[in-house]
Structure 1
């Protein structure tokens, strides 16, 4: 936050000194073009990074509910059962359900990522979005053949949420 405030102060100083720096009279010589002076664009107010982070973290935490996670886990279980029963239609249905849930989550996390003032929080949200997207990929889901493979799901989600936990606490 200190760096952001320092940068804001430097921009304000440069803006003020830039406006005062040219003391020549544009009308002093014949044929001189008329000078146009643009008003300095006012700097946007500094963002309270701590408050922004707290707000974004609270919103992000509310996106993935325990019920959603349970349902996603069930869908992966359905994929495993469908594969064991060689039921392609049931497998496709479960994959569609997982991808729909992931799409819903990512549509909520994406705007939060762009609103985050803290680069570490933006990165953590990016990590989470990438992990969720990976979770819905055919390559990733192909690794689920038995219930023992469900530990992969837990590991992927833990890795993704650990980045958020480091920033959000």
Structure 2
């Protein structure tokens, strides 16, 4: 199973990016987690730009090749980050999310607005949101780094459960 993991944060010290790196590190054999690195390189969405720039085509290809997608994004001003929304806007005109199993990770329990907005956006894009794979972990403000998260049995169990739910969803052929 190939998973494309997208962090909605461009910050070098992003807890969402850290969470996705831990996910990649705890993925079992047979599950490859690739972290998308070019979100900040995408130009502002403009449907008049045709054909899309190479960086946009690479995102579409990465999504198309992935069996599932995991998105972890912070909340800015009660919404999804501009960088993430921009990347999703570039994908609206293609089939990269249609029927794609998607899990949404939330690193801040109080970030309910962005989570709801992201859920709405990927649902409108015809993604198959796997509720059992969507998790919220209390990481923001906890001061935890990659090693501490990876050493926390409860957090690792949550991540592995999310991966198992994605795998089960795909195996069911839903």
Q: Which has the higher strand share?
A: 2
Larger relative contact order (Cα-Cα within 8 Å, sequence gap ≥ 6): 2
Q: TM-score, normalised by structure 2?
A: 0.26
Q: Which has the higher helix share?
A: 1
Q: TM-score, normalised by structure 1?
A: 0.27
